[in-house]
Amino acid sequence: MSVDWLDYIPFNYKRYVQEILPAFEQACIGNPKPIEALLQTATTFAFSPGSTCPIPLTGEHVEKLLNTRYNFQGLFDAETSHALKEGAPCDIWRHMAQIIPTLEGKTMRTLGKYGNLLHSHVFSTFCCELPPPLKKITGMLQDYPFILNEDVYDWLEYCDRDSEIEAIWSVFRQLPPSELAHKLPLLNSDNELILLSYGHRAFTGAVNEHISSFITCEEAQNLLQLRTRDTPLLESIVSCCVRDGRSKDWSIDITRIDPQMVKHIETVFPWQPNGEKFDIEERALFDYWMQEHNEEMQGFIQRYHENLWRIEDELLHRVRFAVERGWGLLKLQR
């Protein structure tokens, strides 16, 4: 399955099970007081896990409310919508509270469009929190997942670099702890196709469609035992180094490469060095350039390893933040 981005968010699953879900269940049987009291304590609002902003919402955050992809429009009357478009701040939880009476007679599986909207943002606001980042990444968009694009493939391969490391990370793919499995709104066997793509710990889309898994505090503690700062020559790194070498337009002596690693082609592609009509297996080209341009190739490899270590440092920073609070960790992906 192709993955565009990954994120890992500290997750207070105990509060979710012990406070949030019971509050919704009470609202469903006609007692709105617990969920109303909860909303009155809010000082922030999260559009998604880890994407938290202070209330009242202003500026670009109000613009998000008006963006059709976020499904808030039905909460605002015409006068409020006009005011928001003119730049008025928004006490979003006051508007979200309008949904509470509609929960009566529903169940957690049948909350409806706006009931699911309320549940999703309560989940993200009250059960998910990011620590301040270890290091601000220049050019990174605010509230954007911290593992993006080709970094995803490097990271996933890094997590499976040997059997010891793979065993620690495999907990995200295992069945959830039995004491939580029946309490959390997880996908079930009726969602077999989604389960194949995500796993047995994926939450339903009504919570957040991007949550592919989670781990408990005890399971997160094992991540703190990981061997760090490894320098494996990952296949994804080999591919990136070959791409970087091609960008240098380095020449190739085809006679010095194993003929079995060379395929002649009819069409010349822009990335073919010097317009030659052949295609070389990536590993063979990597080995060739390691001989011919060793210093520069080593520099490429070092840069990719340092990027992996940056991801590793930030992730373990988040794990420590979660473990110190008795929390677990959500894994989100798209």
326 and 179 in a common domain:
yes
Tokens read off for 166: 């793979």
220 and 95 in a common domain:
no
| Cβ(124)–Cβ(117) below 8 Å | no
Range of the structural domain that residue 215 is part of = 155-227+322-333
Among 127, 145, 170, identify where a domain stops: 127
First to last CA, the chain: 10
327 and 211 in a common domain:
yes
114 and 36 in a common domain:
yes
93 and 27 in a common domain:
yes
Report yes or no on 309 lying in a domain: no
Overall number of domains in the chain: 2
Q: How many CB atoms lie within 10 A of CB 114?
A: 18
Report yes or no on 242 lying in a domain: no
Report yes or no on 142 lying in a domain: no
Tell me how far apart the alpha carbons of residues 284 and 296 are, in angstroms, rounded to a whole number.
17
* Helix 78-85 / helix 59-66 crossing angle, nearest 10 deg: 140
Report yes or no on 60 lying in a domain: yes
327 and 186 in a common domain:
yes
Q: How many CB atoms lie within 10 A of CB 275?
A: 8
| Cβ(2)–Cβ(321) below 8 Å | no
160 and 122 in a common domain:
no
Which of 201, 199, 207, 210 lies closest to 181 in space, CA to CA? 201
Report yes or no on 121 lying in a domain: yes
69 and 26 in a common domain:
yes
159 and 122 in a common domain:
no
Burial of 265 (0-12, 13-18, 19+ CB in 10 A): exposed
Tell me how far apart the alpha carbons of residues 206 and 209 are, in angstroms, rounded to a whole number.
7
The pTM for the full model equals: 0.89
168 and 101 in a common domain:
no
Residues near 188 by Cβ (< 8 Å), separated by ≥ 6? Answer: none
84 and 189 in a common domain:
no
Report yes or no on 191 lying in a domain: yes
Report yes or no on 288 lying in a domain: no
115 and 59 in a common domain:
yes
Report yes or no on 73 lying in a domain: yes
pLDDT in tens, the chain (334 residues): 578 999 999 999 999 999 999 999 999 999 999 999 999 999 999 999 999 999 999 999 999 999 988 889 889 999 999 999 999 999 999 999 999 999 999 999 999 999 999 999 999 999 999 999 987 654 444 567 899 999 999 999 999 999 999 999 999 999 999 999 989 999 875 554 555 556 789 999 899 999 999 999 999 999 999 999 999 999 999 999 999 999 998 988 888 888 888 875 444 455 555 555 567 888 999 999 999 999 999 999 999 999 999 999 999 999 999 999 999 999 999 9
